[in-house]
A and B are shown apart, each in its own frame.
Chain A
């Protein structure tokens, strides 16, 4: 799904439901082939809660041509030591990004 904001920049959104787990949604602006203003949201659990900030920051400025494995690795590397993800994963975040970048296969 995509919407245009006032500046005409395209906002993209992709979601991935982990089987037996939770939904993670990634939305961002696409700017010069990079992700900007990234929001990672969903009904997952993350302990401690503040770990959402480095997870989100890991996607900021990411080039759109990074393959899903590379996205997942980048997210995984940003998880603070001792933090725990429940119901989602770096791979689910990467899949949500991939879906956001390929709107024709996005069923949202």
Chain B
């Protein structure tokens, strides 16, 4: 959440026809332990790919604070584990690449989109990132927030970076998940995340100039009101219905947490 692109990028075509090609299931937020959220992303991607579940948008909620590492990040390079433990912040690793996220349940807005690969057919990876975030940028602009998409995977604004996305591809399906900052506890975040000088020196911009623009600084709306707005925009534009996780999906997630996502071998995959 520290990068910032300095110039607006033209909104990509929204490819509404692709969004409208199927009926979406919207799964409302259910507070879950962080490793369950990791496991569900893998399972729902697989099941959408297998045609066992319709294309889905899942809104996330968290039972507690955590740091979510990207698939390729090293624990020791990214996290002060002792500080995380002291503050009761859990460490988890997601299946997609990208950067570490510091999550407090009321400070972040996260969702996952699971769709068959056909939705991004013919698009490059960078184009597909822009495609999946385009509707969100429009939804934020509808709130009067001067937001835009910044390659490769950021949603940013005149007041700083708002959020970032990551993708994984599995089993004929694409997972695109996005986290936006609603409110940030910067002192706590910087005590837990190691944010190196290299990371902050992109294009010669000094760290002091780097800004994040959490949504709470850009609108008076509550976190929940923003989530509701996003869902309403999506449901208003694309065919969709509210759904839920099945008991079987939750049971499978429990199994994968026990076998993998809650295990040090995965969390410390890169020490």
CA distance A86 to B97 in the complex (A): 10
CB < 8 Å A-B pair total: 75
Shortest Cβ distance from B168 into A: residue? A49
Name the A residues within 8 Å of B100 (CB-CB): 43
Q: How far is A37 from B218 in the complex, measured between Cα atoms in Å?
A: 46
Across the interface, do B169 and A48 meet the contact criterion of CB distance under 8 Å?
yes
- A residues 8-56 in Cβ contact with B at 8 Å: 13, 15-17, 19-23, 25, 27, 39-49, 52
CB proximity of A96 to chain B, nearest CB, Å: 9
Given contacts A17-B199, A108-B196, contact A47 B73 (CB under 8 A): no
Dominant secondary structure of chain B at its interface with chain A: loop
For A16, what are the chain B residues with a Cβ–Cβ distance below 8 Å?
Answer: 198
- Structural contact, B167 and A20, CB atoms closer than 8 A: no
Q: Is the CB of A41 within 8 A of B72?
A: yes
Task: Check B196 against A45 for contact (C-beta < 8 Å).
Answer: no
CB nearest neighbor in A for B98 = A43
Does A87 have its Cβ within 8 Å of any Cβ on chain B?
A: yes
The answer for the CA separation of A52 and B153 in the assembled complex, in Å, is 20
B77 touches A45 (CB 8 A): no
In the complex, the answer to whether B97 meets A49 with C-beta atoms within 8 Å is yes
Contact present for B70 and A43 (CB under 8 Å)? yes
Which of A13, A17, A47 gathers most chain B CB within 10 Å?
A17
Report whether A19 and B197 are in contact in the complex, using a CB–CB cutoff of 8 Å.
no
Given contacts A49-B95, A87-B152, contact A17 B202 (CB under 8 A): yes
Interface residues on B, range: 20 to 34
Tell whether, in the assembled complex, residue B198 and residue A86 are in contact, meaning their CB atoms are under 8 Å apart: no
Interface residues on A, range: 20 to 34
Nearest residue, chain B, Cβ from A24: B72
Q: Is the CB–CB distance between A49 and B73 below 8 Å?
A: no
| CB pair A52 B72 closer than 8 Å | yes
C-beta contact mask, B12-24 vs A, less than 8 Å → 1, else 0? 0000000000000
Q: Tell me if A107 is interfacial: C-beta within 8 Å of chain B.
A: yes
B166 adjacent to chain A (CB < 8 Å): yes
Question: B97's contact among A15, A27, A44, by CB below 8 Å, is which?
Answer: A44
Specify which of B125, B166, B196, B270 is in contact with A23 (CB 8 Å cutoff): B196
User: A84 an interface residue at 8 Å Cβ cutoff?
Assistant: yes
Residue of A nearest to B73 (CB): A41
Known: A15-B196, A86-B125. A44 touches B203 (CB 8 A): no
* Interface pair A43/B97, CB less than 8 Å apart: yes
B198 in contact with A17 (CB, 8 Å):
yes
Measured CA separation A107–B125 after assembly (Å)? 32
- In the bound complex, CA of A56 to CA of B100 (Å): 21
B64 interfacial by beta-carbon distance below 8 Å: no
CB distance from B85 to the nearest CB of A (A): 21
Give B70-96 interface residues, CB cut-off 8 Å to A: 70-74, 77, 95-96
User: Which one of A13, A44, A48, A107 lies within 8 Å of B72 (CB-CB)?
Assistant: A44
Q: List 13 A-B contacts (CB under 8 A).
A: A20-B202, A20-B203, A39-B270, A41-B73, A42-B73, A43-B72, A45-B96, A45-B167, A86-B97, A107-B197, A107-B198, A108-B196, A108-B198
Closest 7 CB pairs of A and B: A43-B99, A41-B74, A45-B97, A15-B198, A41-B270, A17-B198, A23-B199
Listed in ascending order, the chain A residues whose CB lies under 8 Å from chain B are: 13, 15-17, 19-23, 25, 27, 39-49, 52, 84, 86-87, 107-108
